[in-house]
């Protein structure tokens, strides 16, 4: 159960990344019927620290606060990729995982988890600027440089700044369901769910204009997820050759047409499983998979679970 959350900071902590954790877990939203976390910030280097932005922080709690946390969050900081970390902090992180706590890093906070040995043999996310350096420094982990976050329970790692929001909301969604995560996201005015496997960086993240031909095809694809289409058909709709269309599509979305379509179909199936009582066969048809077996195969491949297991976990209370 996610009740007690501690953000642990070091000298040079990044204010925004710390603020991400504070905003998700440290804000009282009980007026919206949302859970209130027992949240605190703890210092790994004494009561007075300096932020990366130059202002000072007085931190009341020390590492003892980590001993009771269900979640220990490690925000990014200045030079985390090249500095040594207090051994007592690394010990506290290891003890936390050993007793069943989760740990979550935002951006370069991943270097702290790696130094503690918590990523050995695990996949992890890292900001694309630091991915190679992390892999060289800690060869026993596997860096996924192109994703927003990786949930290698009990260790969750996220890439750059905004990806920390995604990882935090993912954990809330996982522990307390989509309704809670969606309400928190709405209060924060951020997307309620971005899949961890989404690309960190794409050459042109937003269309240049509403007249952009690939953008128009994306809208059409999203509205017709139940249709079987080929790259040749999509290219013809965009008035391009298949080769040019595939290249432009990759530039604008960071993925291939097939992978984009598959991921959107999985996302639609997730929403239908969460919010409706339709059968898996009906959902498979509406989402473009055709059969329940095909939907089940992709769910296991992409999400590591079956549609029925996903529904049991994330079904909205009002239709349960």
Q: Look at residue 209 and tell me whether its pLDDT is greater than 80.
A: no
DSSP string spanning 273-316? Answer: HHH----HHHHHHHTT--SHHHHHHHHHHHHSS-HHHHHHHH--
Per-residue model confidence (pLDDT) at position 208: 41
Q: Look at residue 213 and tell me whether its pLDDT is greater than 80.
A: no
CA distance 109 to 270: 30
| Residues paired with 41 in a beta bridge | 7
Q: Name all domains of the chain by residue range, CATH numbers in brackets.
A: 4-188 (3.40.50.880), 213-254 (1.10.10.60), 259-319 (1.10.10.60)
Top-confidence residue, 248 or 38? 38
Top-confidence residue, 31 or 206? 31
For residues 32 and 23, the answer to whether their CB atoms sit within 8 Å is no
Q: Where are the alpha helices (DSSP H) in the chain?
A: 15-25, 87-98, 110-115, 131-137, 161-176, 178-188, 213-223, 231-237, 242-253, 257-275, 280-286, 292-303, 307-314
Average pLDDT over residues 105-119: 98
Provide the CA 83 distance to its chain's centre, in angstroms. Answer: 26
Per-residue model confidence (pLDDT) at position 78: 93
Query: Tokens representing 190?
Result: 């951020």
Query: Cα angle vertex 187, ends 26, 2, to 5°?
Result: 40
Average pLDDT over residues 9-27: 97
Per-residue model confidence (pLDDT) at position 212: 58
For residues 234 and 248, the answer to whether their CB atoms sit within 8 Å is no
Q: Number of C-alpha atoms within 13 angstroms, CB side, residue 179?
A: 14
Average model confidence (pLDDT) for the chain?
Answer: 89
Phi, psi torsion values for 151, nearest 5 degrees: -100, 95
Top-confidence residue, 178 or 61? 61
Per-residue model confidence (pLDDT) at position 66: 98
Per residue in 228-258, pLDDT (tens digit) is 999 999 999 999 999 999 998 888 777 889 9
The answer to whether the Cα torsion of 275, 280, 281, 286 is positive or negative is positive
CA distance 254 to 268: 20
Per-residue model confidence (pLDDT) at position 240: 93
Choice among 61-70, 188-197, 222-231, 261-270 with the minimum mean pLDDT: 188-197
Per-residue model confidence (pLDDT) at position 65: 98
290: alpha, beta or left? (left if phi > 0; alpha if psi -120 to 50) = left
Per residue in 293-319, pLDDT (tens digit) is 999 999 888 877 889 988 887 776 555
- This prediction has a pTM of 0.67
Per residue in 141-181, pLDDT (tens digit) is 999 887 889 999 999 999 988 899 999 999 998 999 888 98
């Amino acid at each position: 159960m996610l009740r007690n959350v501690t953000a642990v900071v070091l000298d040079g902590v990044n204010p925004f990344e710390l603020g991400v954790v504070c905003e998700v877990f440290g804000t009282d939203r009980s007026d919206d019927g949302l859970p209130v976390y027992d949240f605190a910030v703890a210092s790994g280097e004494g009561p007075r620290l300096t932020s990366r932005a130059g202002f000072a922080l007085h931190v009341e709690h020390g590492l003892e606060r980590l001993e009771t946390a269900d979640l220990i969050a490690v925000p990014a900081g200045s030079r985390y990729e090249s500095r040594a970390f207090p051994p007592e902090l690394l010990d506290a992180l290891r003890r936390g995982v050993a007793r069943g706590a989760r740990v979550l890093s935002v951006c370069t906070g991943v270097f702290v988890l790696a130094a503690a040995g918590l990523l050995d043999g695990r996949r992890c996310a890292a900001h694309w600027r630091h991915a190679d350096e992390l892999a060289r420094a800690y060869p026993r982990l596997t860096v996924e440089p192109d994703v927003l976050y990786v949930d290698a329970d009990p260790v969750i790692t996220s890439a750059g700044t905004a990806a920390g929001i995604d990882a935090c909301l993912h954990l809330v969604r996982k522990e307390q369901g989509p309704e809670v995560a969606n309400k928190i996201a709405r209060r924060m005015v951020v997307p309620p769910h971005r899949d961890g496997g989404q690309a960190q960086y794409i050459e042109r993240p937003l269309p240049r204009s509403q007249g952009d031909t690939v953008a128009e095809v994306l809208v059409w694809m999203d509205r017709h997820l139940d249709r079987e289409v080929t790259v040749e058909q999509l290219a013809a709709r965009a008035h391009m050759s298949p080769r040019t269309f595939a290249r432009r599509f990759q530039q604008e979305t960071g993925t291939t047409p097939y992978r984009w379509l598959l991921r959107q179909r999985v996302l639609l199936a997730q929403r239908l499983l969460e919010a409706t009582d339709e059968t898996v066969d009906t959902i498979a048809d509406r989402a473009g998979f055709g059969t329940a077996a095909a939907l089940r195969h992709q769910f296991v491949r992409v999400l590591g679970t079956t549609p029925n297991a996903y529904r049991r976990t994330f079904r909205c209370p009002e239709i349960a």
